[in-house]
């Protein structure tokens, strides 16, 4: 895992450059933007996200509510061992479902993309969602140079997932997410932990 962390740290500035479109990294501005975007969503959807002052950003993907009708917020941090322990203990207590990338299949929110079917790891959509809760397609992870060990060791903690409209209808994705009709609209939020890497997500459709 130390090798993974060193490998990822090499890409910190590259990834941030890609998402801020600035010639130089302004980490203070990045943190301000992160907090600003989170504040635009209902607190119940974003209260699990980590304070960016507590750990090192690797990546963030932020969409303002209604931007292209894709309401997706994600962030990846490298945390020290004490913080990891604290987060893990909280996740175990608060999770409503626990999955793994290595599960035979998952209930995946699918915006008609196939990137999650990659040579790194193949995530399979379940045919029967009975008793399951939705998770992202983790496209944002698969676009990054995360090694296979990250996925093999990761635990996916779903902290909340409900059916219904949690933003104004004009802000919601209207093209379907390849789930059952009951999940035509809804949200999923949660955390992935693998070693010292922590991934936070929110998706509202």
Q: Going residue by residue through the chain (205 aa), what tens digit of pLDDT does each one get?
A: 444 443 343 333 334 334 434 333 578 888 899 999 999 999 999 999 999 999 998 888 888 887 777 899 999 999 999 999 999 999 999 999 999 999 999 999 988 755 555 567 888 899 899 999 999 999 889 888 888 999 999 999 999 999 999 999 999 998 889 899 999 999 999 999 999 999 999 999 9
Q: How far apart are CA 78 and CA 97, in angstroms?
A: 23
- Report the pLDDT value the prediction gives residue 3, as an integer from 0 to 100: 40
Q: How far apart are CA 43 and CA 159, in angstroms?
A: 14
Q: Which residue has the tokens 């130089």?
A: 24
Contact 92, 193 (CB under 8 A): no
- Report the pLDDT value the prediction gives residue 114, as an integer from 0 to 100: 56
Counting Cα atoms < 13 Å in the Cβ hemisphere of 64 gives: 3
- Report the pLDDT value the prediction gives residue 14, as an integer from 0 to 100: 35
- Report the pLDDT value the prediction gives residue 43, as an integer from 0 to 100: 97
- Report the pLDDT value the prediction gives residue 121, as an integer from 0 to 100: 82
Strands (E) located in the chain: 56-62, 71-78, 97-99, 155-163, 186-194, 197-204
Q: How far apart are CA 72 and CA 61, in angstroms?
A: 8
Q: How far apart are CA 135 and CA 133, in angstroms?
A: 7
User: CB neighbours (10 Å) of residue 115?
Assistant: 12
Give the β-pairing of 197-204 and 97-99.
unpaired
- Report the pLDDT value the prediction gives residue 13, as an integer from 0 to 100: 33
**Cβ-Cβ contacts under 8 Å for 103 (sequence gap 6 or more):** none
- Report the pLDDT value the prediction gives residue 166, as an integer from 0 to 100: 96
Q: Which of 70, 75, 77 is nearest to 111 (CA)?
A: 70
Tokens for 196? 């010292």
**What's the pTM value of the predicted model, to 2 decimals?**
0.84
């Amino acid at each position: 895992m130390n090798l993974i962390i060193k490998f990822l740290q090499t890409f910190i500035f590259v990834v941030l450059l890609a998402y801020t479109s600035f010639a130089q990294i302004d980490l203070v501005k990045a943190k301000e933007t992160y907090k600003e975007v989170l504040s635009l969503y209902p607190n119940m959807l974003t209260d699990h996200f980590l304070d960016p002052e507590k750990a090192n950003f690797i990546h963030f993907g932020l969409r303002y509510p209604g931007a292209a009708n894709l309401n997706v917020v994600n962030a990846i941090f490298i945390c020290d061992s004490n913080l990891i322990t604290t987060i893990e203990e909280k996740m175990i207590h608060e999770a409503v479902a626990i999955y793994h990338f290595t599960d035979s299949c998952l209930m995946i929110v699918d915006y008609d993309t196939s990137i999650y079917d990659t040579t790194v790891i193949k995530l399979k959509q379940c045919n029967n969602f009975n008793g399951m809760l939705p998770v992202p397609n983790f496209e944002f992870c698969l676009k990054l140079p995360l090694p296979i060990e990250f996925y093999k060791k990761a635990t996916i903690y779903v902290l909340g997932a409900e059916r219904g409209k949690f933003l104004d209808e004009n802000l919601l994705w209207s093209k379907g997410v390849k789930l059952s009709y009951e999940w035509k609209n809804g949200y999923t939020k949660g955390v992935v932990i693998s070693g010292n890497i922590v991934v936070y997500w929110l998706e509202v459709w």
